[in-house]
């Protein structure tokens, strides 16, 4: 134990069951006592009787479980009380009755679930109270209304679902500085009449909040807020900061009435297209965050009234073009962020002239051509404009000073760059899967549109893909079959063990075990049937595919036969018109023989011509019949045999539980 000359006592590595009364009896003028980590389990109502001069008491990191009534009797001058990280679950109503001068009360990290509504009434001088990291579920009505000088109430990291009406309202108190309700389970919140400078509501489940005109700063990110209700429209709003990142805001109808807004953050909301009047009344706005709000187009006049604007963030949207002239009214801009869009060019030549105060410009993760980006970077360097670059760095990509771009001379590298950016791009990690998919597909489409000159390889890639799917499906069936075999082997082992037990002592086998064995057998057989059914479906698909191919081949053969028949008809016509086969040969003979035997040759040529004509027709008919017959036989064999086999296989199956058990046991 250490005693100082400045009326301060610190216990180090001591083990005490209760606050030592003898300490204050011995040193009645003690002003500060540090009893942290002393294993204290109780505060006796007489322990502090002689501590009338004590102003600071630290009891953190002990084992206190409750605060009884009048446990601080005697410590009338106490201004700071630290009870952090104990096991306090109960505070009786009169626990703080003698602490009218207490300014700071720390109860963080305990196990409080409920507080009496008047437990803090005696603390008339209280300015700051820490109740964070407990297990509170309800903030009782009028819980803090008696503390007329209260400034800071910290209730984050509890389980609060209800805040009672008037819990933070007091007619005698001018204004609170901080109310923190972050990381609780609130779904609705009515702050009618509440006067506070800063209100923290992040990480709840709020869908709607009702606010008074006297709240200055609201931080409500990571909720489900779709609307904000004004409880008093007759009084001028004092709201200057509104943080609504990652909520469900779809309309700016209410927000545009907050004329005193200086900071507005709407990131990660599905706002979509902006109206020309969305920000018309926000003439004092200096910071506007619209990143990831599904903006695809900006109209001239949207920001016409934002003359005081200094920071604009419209990154990670769907903009494929951006005209700085829509910001002509906002000449005081110091930071502009257009990262993560689909921009290919911007009119940057007049940036310094239009925005003389511009210091930061974010242009990363767009569709810049490297040659174009070099010129943009050079301009910004010459005009002292700092280019913002994401902290996340991906190696092996074409870039200009860390800003990625596309090199026309190396399209393959650009394609790899796009795939890597899709994998690591921060703006794809959003709550909406549909938006991430849309952004990814758009990036892929841009690359295909930029670098694809031919689509001749699409068919071969599709064929390879179908072959891969076919192989994967077959492998899946093989693995499933092996798994079924393993399950069957395990079942047989269990069945053998059960049989041995039955032979030794039949009463040792319970009905539950038998039921489990039967269910296992049933499930195993059903798995086999399911696998067989899947195989059958796959075979049917395979056979239908083969039938389609065979029909295509048959059609091609039919077309070939038709063409052949036409050629045969021409050939036969030529033969007939030429006087027959022998008649055609007769033209090669000498003229003298034709004259001497003209009558005989004419008769013989005519007869031979008719015989040749009939022979050719017979051969053609036989050939056509043979080809058609072969095609029909092939198609029939391909499509018929698997159906017959599967039909026979399934005809003799019995899916009843008795048959399944008989077949497998």
Rounded (10°) CA dihedral 295, 299, 302, 308 = 90
Burial class of residue 649 (count of CB atoms within 10 Å of its CB; 0-12, 13-18, 19+): exposed
Return d(Cα 193, Cα 214) in angstroms, integer.
Answer: 8
| Concatenated DSSP letters of 536-584 | HHHHHHHHHHHHHHHHHHHHHHHHHHHHHHHHHHHHHHHHHHTTHHHHH
Check pLDDT > 60 for residue 605: no
Per-residue confidence (pLDDT) for residue 446, from 0 to 100: 58
Residue of 114, 113, 121, 77 lying closest to 95 (CA atoms) = 121
Residue of 250, 254, 259, 251 lying closest to 280 (CA atoms) = 259
The HSE-up count of residue 170 (CA atoms within 13 Å, CB side) is 19
Higher-confidence residue: 1 or 364?
364
| Concatenated DSSP letters of 366-381 | S--BHHHHHHHHHHHH
Return d(Cα 400, Cα 115) in angstroms, integer.
Answer: 60
* DSSP symbol at 275: P
The HSE-up count of residue 240 (CA atoms within 13 Å, CB side) is 8
Element (DSSP H or E) covering residue 10: strand 8-10
Per-residue confidence (pLDDT) for residue 576, from 0 to 100: 52
Residue of 343, 308, 349 lying closest to 327 (CA atoms) = 308
Return d(Cα 156, Cα 62) in angstroms, integer.
Answer: 22
Return d(Cα 128, Cα 144) in angstroms, integer.
Answer: 11
Per-residue confidence (pLDDT) for residue 626, from 0 to 100: 65
Higher-confidence residue: 142 or 89?
89
Q: At what angle do helices 657-664 and 511-577 cross, to 10 degrees?
A: 90
Return d(Cα 297, Cα 303) in angstroms, integer.
Answer: 13
* DSSP symbol at 414: H
Residue of 143, 142, 87, 144 lying closest to 112 (CA atoms) = 87
Dihedral-angle region of residue 384 (phi above 0 means left; psi in -120 to 50 means alpha; beta otherwise) = left
Check pLDDT > 50 for residue 7: yes
Return d(Cα 576, Cα 586) in angstroms, integer.
Answer: 14
Return d(Cα 308, Cα 262) in angstroms, integer.
Answer: 9
Mean pLDDT throughout 83-105?
A: 95
Phi, then psi, of 218 in degrees rounded to 5: -125, 125
Angle made by CA atoms 349, 350, 355, in degrees to the nearest 5: 135
Return d(Cα 201, Cα 168) in angstroms, integer.
Answer: 15
Rounded (10°) CA dihedral 23, 28, 29, 31 = 50
Return d(Cα 545, Cα 403) in angstroms, integer.
Answer: 50
Return d(Cα 228, Cα 215) in angstroms, integer.
Answer: 13
Write out pLDDT tens, residues 409-458: 665 555 555 555 555 444 444 444 455 455 555 555 555 555 444 444 44
CATH for 1-111 (3.40.50.1980, 3.40.640.10, 3.40.710.10, 3.80.10.10): 3.80.10.10
Please provide the average confidence, as pLDDT, over all residues in the chain. 78
| Concatenated DSSP letters of 453-499 | ---TTHHHHHHHHHHHHHHHHHHHHHHHHHHHHHHHHHHHHHHHHHH
Hey, which of 109-118, 388-397, 574-583 has the most confident mean pLDDT?
109-118
Per-residue confidence (pLDDT) for residue 230, from 0 to 100: 86
Return d(Cα 289, Cα 273) in angstroms, integer.
Answer: 15
Angle made by CA atoms 373, 379, 383, in degrees to the nearest 5: 145
Phi, then psi, of 501 in degrees rounded to 5: -65, -40
Write out pLDDT tens, residues 549-589: 777 777 776 776 677 667 666 666 665 555 444 343 334 43
Return d(Cα 308, Cα 313) in angstroms, integer.
Answer: 15
Are 26 and 50 a contacting pair, CB within 8 Å? no
Question: Residue length, the chain?
Answer: 665
Least confident interval from 40-54, 183-197, 613-627: 613-627
Phi, then psi, of 442 in degrees rounded to 5: -65, -40
Q: How confident is the model at residue 406 (pLDDT cuts 50, 70, 90)?
A: confident
Higher-confidence residue: 124 or 549?
124
Per-residue confidence (pLDDT) for residue 497, from 0 to 100: 72
Return d(Cα 327, Cα 355) in angstroms, integer.
Answer: 9
> Across the strands, what pairs with 66?
90
Q: How confident is the model at residue 156 (pLDDT cuts 50, 70, 90)?
A: very high
| Concatenated DSSP letters of 240-282 | -EEE--SS-----TTGGG-TT-SEEE--S----SPPTTTTTT-
Dihedral-angle region of residue 117 (phi above 0 means left; psi in -120 to 50 means alpha; beta otherwise) = alpha
Phi, then psi, of 488 in degrees rounded to 5: -65, -40
Q: How confident is the model at residue 401 (pLDDT cuts 50, 70, 90)?
A: confident
* DSSP symbol at 653: -
Return d(Cα 188, Cα 207) in angstroms, integer.
Answer: 6
Euclidean distance between the first and the last CA atom of the chain, given in angstroms as a whole number: 78
Return d(Cα 300, Cα 303) in angstroms, integer.
Answer: 8
State whether the Cα torsion 222-225-230-231 is positive or negative: negative
Per-residue confidence (pLDDT) for residue 573, from 0 to 100: 64
Residues 6+ apart with CB under 8 A from 539: 642, 646
Higher-confidence residue: 537 or 24?
24
Write out pLDDT tens, residues 609-639: 444 445 556 565 566 666 666 566 655 555 5
Residue of 219, 227, 138 lying closest to 182 (CA atoms) = 219
Question: Kind of pairing, strands 56-58 and 8-10?
Answer: unpaired
Higher-confidence residue: 297 or 594?
297
């Amino acid at each position: 134990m250490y005693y100082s000359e400045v009326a301060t006592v610190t216990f180090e590595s001591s083990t005490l069951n209760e606050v030592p009364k003898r300490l204050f009896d011995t040193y009645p003028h003690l002003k500060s006592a540090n009893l942290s980590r002393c294993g204290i389990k109780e505060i006796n109502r007489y322990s502090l009787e002689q501590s009338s001069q004590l102003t600071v008491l630290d009891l953190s990191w002990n084992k206190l479980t409750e605060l009884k009534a009048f446990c601080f009797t005697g410590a009338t001058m106490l201004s700071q009380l630290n009870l952090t990280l104990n096991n306090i679950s109960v505070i009786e109503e009169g626990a703080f009755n003698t602490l009218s001068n207490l300014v700071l009360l720390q109860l963080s990290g305990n196990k409080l679930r409920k507080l009496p509504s008047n437990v803090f009434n005696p603390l008339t001088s209280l300015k700051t109270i820490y109740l964070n990291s407990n297990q509170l579920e309800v903030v009782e009505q009028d819980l803090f209304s008696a503390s007329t000088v209260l400034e800071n109430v910290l209730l984050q990291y509890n389980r609060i679902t209800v805040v009672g009406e008037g819990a933070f309202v007091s007619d005698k108190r001018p204004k609170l500085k901080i109310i923190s309700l972050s990381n609780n389970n609130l779904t609705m919140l009515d702050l009618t009449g509440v006067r506070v400078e800063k209100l923290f509501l992040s990480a709840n489940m709020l869908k709607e909040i009702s606010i008074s005109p006297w709240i200055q700063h609201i931080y409500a990110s990571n909720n489900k807020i779709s609307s904000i209700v004004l409880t008093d429209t007759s009084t001028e709003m004092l709201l200057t900061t509104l943080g609504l990142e990652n909520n469900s805001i779809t309309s700016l109808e209410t927000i545009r009435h907050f004329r005193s807004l200086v900071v507005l953050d709407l990131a990660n909301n599905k706002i979509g297209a902006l109206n020309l009047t969305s920000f018309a009344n926000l003439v004092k706005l200096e910071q506007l965050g619209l990143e990831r709000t599904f903006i695809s187009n900006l109209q001239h006049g949207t920001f016409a009234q934002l003359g005081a604007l200094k920071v604009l963030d419209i990154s990670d949207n769907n903009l494929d073009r951006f005209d700085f002239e829509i910001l002509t009214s906002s000449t005081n801009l110091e930071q502009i962020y257009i990262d993560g869009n689909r921009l290919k060019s911007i009119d940057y030549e007049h940036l310094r002239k239009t925005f003389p105060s511009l210091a930061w410009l974010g242009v990363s993760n767009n569709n810049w051509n490297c040659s174009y980006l070099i010129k943009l970077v050079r301009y910004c360097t010459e005009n002292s404009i700092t280019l913002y670059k994401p902290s996340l760095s991906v190696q092996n990509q074409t870039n200009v000073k860390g800003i990625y771009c596309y090199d026309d001379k190396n399209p393959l590298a650009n394609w790899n760059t796009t795939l890597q950016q899709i994998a690591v791009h921060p703006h794809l990690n959003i709550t909406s899967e549909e938006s991430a998919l849309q952004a990814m597909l758009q990036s892929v489409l841009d690359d295909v549109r930029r670098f694809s000159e031919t689509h001749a390889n699409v068919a071969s890639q599709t064929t390879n893909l179908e072959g891969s799917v076919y192989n994967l499906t077959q492998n899946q069936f093989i693995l499933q079959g092996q798994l079924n075999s393993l399950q069957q082997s395990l079942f047989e082992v269990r069945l053998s063990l059960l049989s041995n037990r039955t032979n030794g002592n039949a009463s040792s086998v319970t009905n539950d075990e038998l039921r489990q064995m039967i269910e296992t057998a049933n499930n195993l057989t059903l798995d086999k049937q399911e696998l067989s059914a899947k195989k059958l479906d796959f075979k049917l698909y395979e056979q239908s595919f083969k039938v389609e191919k065979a029909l295509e081949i048959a059609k091609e053969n039919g077309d070939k036969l038709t063409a052949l028949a036409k050629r045969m008809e021409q050939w036969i016509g030529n033969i007939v018109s030429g006087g027959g086969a022998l008649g055609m040969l007769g033209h090669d003979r000498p003229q003298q023989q034709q004259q001497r035997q003209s009558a005989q040759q004419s008769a013989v040529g005519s007869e031979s011509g008719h015989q040749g004509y009939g022979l050719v027709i017979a051969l053609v008919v036989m050939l056509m019949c043979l080809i058609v017959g072969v095609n029909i036989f092939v198609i029939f064999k391909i499509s018929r045999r698997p159906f017959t086999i599967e039909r026979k296989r399934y005809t003799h199956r019995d899916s009843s539980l008795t048959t399944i058990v008989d077949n497998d046991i």
